Amino acid sequence: MFSTQLKERQMIVEKVLFNALKYKQPSHAYLFVGPKGSKMVETAILLAQSLVCKHANPWACEECDSCHRIKDGIFADLVMIDGSEKSIKKEDILHMQEQFSKTALESYGKKIYIIIGAENASSEALNSLLKFLEEPSGFDTYAILISEKPERLLETIVSRCQTLTFKAQDRETLMETLKEFDLEPYELHILTQMVNDKEELMELKDSDEFRQCLVHFGEFIDEYNKAPYLGELYLQNSVLKRKDPQSDRQRLTLFLNIGMMFFKDVLFKTNTTSSLWKNRMNQLPRQLKPLTAFTLFNESVHKISTNANLGLLIDALLYQLKEEEV
C-alpha cells in the first residue's frame, strides 16, 4: 500500500494530509514541492483516490474500482496534465477549464486536476491557471500542482496553494543500496545525485540509455579537452539520432543532467576514486568556467521542456561555452 510507504518516506507530508482528510478539511489547492524521485505524483494520486474512495479511513483503500480508475487515469472527473517532458500550453489549461465547467460525470461529485511539472507551463498557461485557481468550477474542485522548481511559478499561484515540501531520500542510504552491484565509483556518484528514490535509481542503473549517455558525456569531455572544436563536433554528431524526436529529447536531457553533475563536482572539487573521471576534471581547459558550464547546461535542460529545437539548442549551448572562453 502506498499510504504505508508515504508514512515511512515523507512523515510530515503524510501527517498533514492524513489530518486534513480525517477532519474533512482538505485544501482546495495543494502545491507539492520536492526533488525528482520523492514520490510527489504517487502522493497526488493517493490524495485524489482518498477524496472519492467510499472505503477511505481516511486514506483510500487503493483497491476499489474508483481507486483503480484514478490510478489508471480513466476516472472521468480527474484531469492530469504532464509538463515533465513538454511545455504546458494555454490551450491545455483552457481545455481543462472547459471540462470542469460541465456537470461532474462521476457520482462522487468531486472534480480533481493534477498538474505535473507545473513550472514548465508557458506564461499564458500560468495566467490562465491563476484565474482558474481564483475562480474554481464549483466548491468540490481540487487542484494538486507538482513542481521540482517552484521558483519558476507565479508568486500569486504559490500564495493560493497550501505548499507541502517533500524531502529527498538520504543519499547514504541510496549508496548502500548499490554497494552490492559492480558499479564504477563515479557512475555510482552520478546516479545518487540524479535520483532520490530507490526504485527509480535501480531502474536508471539498468538503463542502456543512462550508460550510453554517461559514455557520450565522457567522450565529449575527452574531445573537448583536446580542443573545444573537437568537443563541438562530437556533441553535434553523436548525441542526437534524429530519428525519434521524443527519444532525442530524453537522451539529451539525460546527457545534460550528467553534465550538470560533472561541472558541479569540478566547481566544488569533489574527490573521486575514479582515475578516469579525475583526469577529465583536472584536464579541463582553464578558459572553461565550471560555474558557467553548469548554468548553461541547466538552462538547456529547461529549454528542452519548452519544446525548443534540439539542434539549435546544442548550437546555442556550444556557442555560449565558446563565448565564455574568450
pLDDT digits (tens, 9 = 90+) for 11-24: 999 999 999 999 99
Specify the pLDDT at position 324.
Answer: 63
Distance CA 99, CA 141 (A): 12
Nearest Cα neighbor of 267 from 281, 248, 252, 249 is: 281
Q: Which residues pair with 144 in a beta bridge?
A: 30, 114
Say if residues 265 and 272 touch (Cβ distance below 8 Å): yes
Task: Determine how many CB atoms are found less than 10 A away from the CB of residue 311.
Answer: 12
Specify the pLDDT at position 27.
Answer: 95
Say if residues 53 and 60 touch (Cβ distance below 8 Å): yes
Environment class of 212 (CB within 10 Å of its CB; exposed 0-12, middle 13-18, buried 19+): middle
Indicate if the pLDDT at residue 292 is higher than 80.
yes
DSSP string, 131-169: HHHHS-SSTTEEEEEEES-GGGS-HHHHHTSEEEEPPPP
**Between 3.50.50.60, 3.40.50.2300, 3.40.50.720, 3.40.50.300, what CATH number should domain 2-165 receive?**
3.40.50.300
pLDDT band at 242 (very low <50, low <70, confident <90, very high): low
Distance CA 91, CA 79 (A): 14
Q: Which carries the bigger pLDDT value, residue 228 or residue 155?
A: 155
Indicate if the pLDDT at residue 153 is higher than 80.
yes
Environment class of 182 (CB within 10 Å of its CB; exposed 0-12, middle 13-18, buried 19+): exposed
Indicate if the pLDDT at residue 271 is higher than 80.
yes
Nearest Cα neighbor of 144 from 55, 47, 237, 284 is: 47
pLDDT in tens, 21-41: 999 999 999 999 998 878 999
What is the average pLDDT score of the chain? 89
Give the burial string for 112-144 (b: 16+ CB within 10 Å, else e): bbbbbbbbbbbeebbbbbbebbeebbeeebbbb
Specify the pLDDT at position 288.
Answer: 85
Environment class of 272 (CB within 10 Å of its CB; exposed 0-12, middle 13-18, buried 19+): middle
- Percent of all residues in the chain with a pLDDT value above 70, rounded to a whole number: 96
Say if residues 23 and 123 touch (Cβ distance below 8 Å): no
What strand order describes the sheet that includes 78-82? 78-82, 111-116, 141-147, 29-33, 162-165
Parse the chain into domains and list their residue ranges: 2-165, 207-325
Nearest Cα neighbor of 77 from 108, 54, 55, 32 is: 108
